[in-house]
Amino acid sequence: MSNVTLRWILFVCLLCSCWLIHSASAGRLYLTVEGKPGDNVTLQCQGTEEFTTLKWNKPDLKSEYYVYFISDKEVRKQYQHESFQDRVELKDPNMKNRDASVILKNININDAGTYECYVGEGGRFKLINRVTLTVHQPGDETESDGNNRGHVGLAVGLSVVGVILVAVGVVAFLIFRKRSTEQNSY
């Protein structure tokens, strides 16, 4: 294998690793949050572009009402499910840096489940992420402080980067070995 070929292989490996890292970071977030009854928890959501409408949904409610709904920077309580009345507020009321995170107050066992954050403009919505809330009973062995978050995209991205680094290492080893063999044959 010529030096030019080996350089092209290294170039392609580096290009692929950059693309995979970008793809993993651009993907949707799948977060987990844990707490116990009475805790306040933050459901994270970060918009990627400007939006005028925000809605937090809990699909297992099987209702036309939402956990939280804002349109034109105004909270629309008439669209809020009764079980979330007066318990949900924006983490940042000004939504600086497109922060659409909400604080769910005084959680209870019925709040456990998956929440979806959508942002939009002009009636079109985009799913930004899903947050799974687990509510532990006091004394439960898996009880935590309410801030335990998992990021599947990060785990996948790091795994992919690890595989790529191993591949680059193997290619580098082959290059080194080939050069050593060529120098010894002279």
Give me the CATH number covering residue 58.
2.60.40.10
Query: Long-range pairs for 20-23 at CB < 8 Å and ≥24 separation?
Result: 20/157, 20/160, 20/161, 20/164, 21/157, 21/160, 21/161
**What is the share, in percent, of the chain residues with pLDDT greater than 90?**
45
pLDDT level of residue 48 (50, 70, 90 thresholds)? confident
What tens digit of pLDDT does each residue of 64-75 get? Answer: 899 999 998 899
Domain count across the chain: 1
- β-pairing verdict for 124-135 and 29-35: parallel
DSSP designation for 80: B
Collapsing DSSP states into helix, strand and coil, what is residue 158? helix
User: Cβ of 149: how many Cβ atoms within 10 Å?
Assistant: 12
| Structural domain that includes position 165 | 3-185
Kindly report the pTM of this predicted structure: 0.62
